[in-house]
Structure 1
C-alpha cells in the first residue's frame, strides 16, 4: 500500500508539474501570437494612415500647382488684353496729335 501511495504521489506531482509547464508554454505562445498580431495590425494601420496622408498631401500640392498655373495663365491673358487696350489708346492719342500738328502746319 505504501508503494501505491508513493507511486500515486509521484503521478500527482508529475501531473502538477506538467500542468504548470503546459500553462507556462501556453502563456508564452499566447503572448508571442498576441505581439505578432498587434505588430501586424499596427503596421497595417500605420501604412493605411500614411497612404491617406500622402494622398491628401499629393492632392493638395497638385491643386496648388494647378491653381498657380491657371492663375499665371489668366494673368498673362489679362496683361495681354490690358496692353492691347493701352496700345490702342496710345496709338489713338498719337494719331490725334499728328492730325492736330498737321492741321496747324497747314
Structure 2
C-alpha cells in the first residue's frame, strides 16, 4: 500500500462519516462524557466529542503513533500524506539509477 491508497481510504472514511451520525457509547464513555459536560457546563456533547477527536489526533501526531500506524499499513508518514509525495520523491533519491556494486571495483 502507499500514498494513493491512504488518500483513497481517508476520503472514503470521511464520506462515511457524513452518513453515520449516531454514535453508541458504553457505560464508561457515557459517564466520562457526562462528567466533561458538567465540568464545561454544556448541554452540547457534540462539541465535547469534536474536542476529544482533535485531542486524540494531536496526541497521536505528537507521539509519532500516527506515523507508526501509517508506516505499517501504507508505508508512508503523515508528512508524506500532507505533501502528496514520499520522501524519496521529495529528495530525488528515486531518480538515480541503481549502482552495480559487483562491477564497481573490477579492473
Normalising to structure 1: TM-score of the pair?
A: 0.24
Tell me which protein shows more helix as a share of its residues. 1
